[in-house]
Structure 1
């Protein structure tokens, strides 16, 4: 079992312990580390030398920059610490009430492309025999980006094509509909891009960290948990700002100062999205568990303590 997974097993089995770890891991200063420093930190973590001088920051650097299946350094733009820097402007822009369909499609395309890359890079790749991207994976990524881009722009498409002017209908399409739509598309992107894990299975480990085989049931559980966490990330990031603006628009102050609504929405989206990143990452353990009765027959004998472990991905 990779040192990163062993660390999560020992330190990250409760929600609050995971949340504390993720707040440390998302420090963007770690993006300045070189590949040599990252591999050194990974080796230090694997050798259990984190208490020695110079190894104190090794867990954070290893967990935030090394893929737990391959042991390789993640591309810098798709590392967890880069997520807020890279995607916050895209998320804020995608939630804006645009004036044209082209604008809505453009920002949806940018956001969905980035998160498709993030989902693919941080997937569980333990069952893959080659590091090269297969044609099927490329089609899944391209198809997912195309579908989610068009679906994400549907509120603006409906508003423009139907020529909606009613205040109540505009509120529905611009403030209410984006909430479940954002959550659903976030989950859909994970399900489709990581579909191969549910078909081929992912590597599972016994309580001693030894690999015992591939499990489709574990793959399905890992993808489902990650999809739910992504739905929570986007659904909450859309719900809180939109509902807050709807409430404030009823007050006299904001009715007289309508120019304050737009910057308030932008700031609220950025703040809520930033807080939801570590929260959504912490909803489920990075080293998940699956009960003996839920795995394939040939793997049940290896679950001596009643469960097996798997890498959930991110």
Structure 2
């Protein structure tokens, strides 16, 4: 079992523990660490056998684990590109979320949402679960093709309400409220979940590796792959659904209570609210389900069960 998964298994038994772990691992300053520092951290934690089942007590080892968790893919053992590491997720998606939430022209809305989904889908692809290579068709090519289709479709779906409203000149206050205030949250939540499911669809077809409690790979399971993808898709839907919904509620309360007297100050206040909500929701989203996921014996395929007497199995959920 990879060191990252051992850390998540030992330190992330509850949601609160996982939240604290990701709150530390999402520190943007970790992006400044060099490749040599990351490799030294991996070497340190790979020689520390106590991290397999026990919480970490040594601060140096804990910092090494956080750097590994934030920088190294647990399936390939390779360093993740800087802009696609977990600590870069919030700083990069923040301007994309803000721009996407204020566009009221269909063309610009499509372009901004295309960029938004392009980044989040690429992040999902790079940080997803590795799948066994298919013999007839490249898994990577299939993921890229599905990802591009999902990005385009999600951007079209996001821009369609504005296109419909402008096309038929529906300018009533109720229509403005529905299209500009109420629809974005569920649309972004659903389309974000959709792009996750599409780009990681090979995990449904090919399955992912499952391990016993000692970290030994005992087979490849499609059911574990389905569970990993659905958990990640749900967490992404909650992340962006809440990020687009909660600021609208808070800004409505601010405007109604007239806490901000100067109308020009509403823009900066809105940006601060969006940033605060997104900063809180990213670790919440990453913590909703364990990174080292668990699946029961009864939920696995018979061919896997025939080779072992274990009752609990683990897998890498991906992000």
Considering the TM-score relative to the shorter chain, is it more than 0.5?
yes
- Which of 214, 219, 232 does residue 226 from structure 1 map onto? 232
* CA 1:181–1:148: 2 relative to 1, 3 Å: same
- Which of 111, 122, 126 does residue 117 from structure 1 map onto? 122
Deviations, residues 68-107 of structure 1 (Å, cap 9, x unaligned) = 00000001100001111111100111111x2422221121
Moved more, 28-37 or 256-265: 256-265
- Which of 184, 194, 199 does residue 200 from structure 2 map onto? 194
Check whether the contact 2:131–2:203 (CA below 8 A) recurs between aligned residues.
Answer: no
Check whether the contact 1:182–1:235 (CA below 8 A) recurs between aligned residues.
Answer: yes
In structure 1, what is the Cα distance between the partners aligned to 2:132 and 2:202?
A: 9
Across the aligned residues of Structure 1 and Structure 2, the Cα RMSD in angstroms comes to 2.1
**In the alignment, which residue of structure 1 is the partner of 2:288?**
283
Q: State the shift of 1:53 in Å.
A: 8.8
Check whether the contact 2:197–2:229 (CA below 8 A) recurs between aligned residues.
Answer: yes
Check whether the contact 1:70–1:126 (CA below 8 A) recurs between aligned residues.
Answer: no
Structure 1 ranges of 4+ moved more than 6 A: 49-53
Per the alignment, in what secondary structure is the counterpart of residue 170 of structure 1?
Answer: helix
Unaligned runs of 5+ in 2: 50-55
**In the alignment, which residue of structure 2 is the partner of 1:173?**
179
TM-score w.r.t. length of structure 2: 0.91
In structure 1, what is the Cα distance between the partners aligned to 2:171 and 2:141?
A: 45
**In the alignment, which residue of structure 1 is the partner of 2:110?**
105
**In the alignment, which residue of structure 2 is the partner of 1:295?**
300
Check whether the contact 2:290–2:317 (CA below 8 A) recurs between aligned residues.
Answer: yes
**In the alignment, which residue of structure 2 is the partner of 1:16?**
16
Per the alignment, in what secondary structure is the counterpart of residue 165 of structure 1?
Answer: coil
In structure 2, what is the Cα distance between the partners aligned to 1:53 and 1:105?
A: 46
In structure 1, what is the Cα distance between the partners aligned to 2:62 and 2:313?
A: 30
1:1-314 equivalence runs, <5 A: 1-48=1-48, 55-96=61-102, 98-128=103-133, 134-251=140-257, 257-301=262-306, 304-314=309-319
Check whether the contact 2:211–2:315 (CA below 8 A) recurs between aligned residues.
Answer: yes
In structure 2, what is the Cα distance between the partners aligned to 1:51 and 1:99?
A: 52
In structure 1, what is the Cα distance between the partners aligned to 2:43 and 2:249?
A: 47
Moved more, 4-13 or 158-167: 158-167
In structure 1, what is the Cα distance between the partners aligned to 2:28 and 2:151?
A: 26
TM-score w.r.t. length of structure 1: 0.92
In structure 2, what is the Cα distance between the partners aligned to 1:313 and 1:6?
A: 14
Per the alignment, in what secondary structure is the counterpart of residue 294 of structure 2?
Answer: strand
* CA 1:5–1:128: 2 relative to 1, 3 Å: farther
Q: State the shift of 1:120 in Å.
A: 0.3
* CA 1:253–1:174: 2 relative to 1, 3 Å: same
* CA 1:245–1:21: 2 relative to 1, 3 Å: same
Check whether the contact 1:292–1:303 (CA below 8 A) recurs between aligned residues.
Answer: no
What count of residue pairs does the alignment treat as equivalent?
Answer: 311
In structure 1, what is the Cα distance between the partners aligned to 2:213 and 2:60?
A: 30
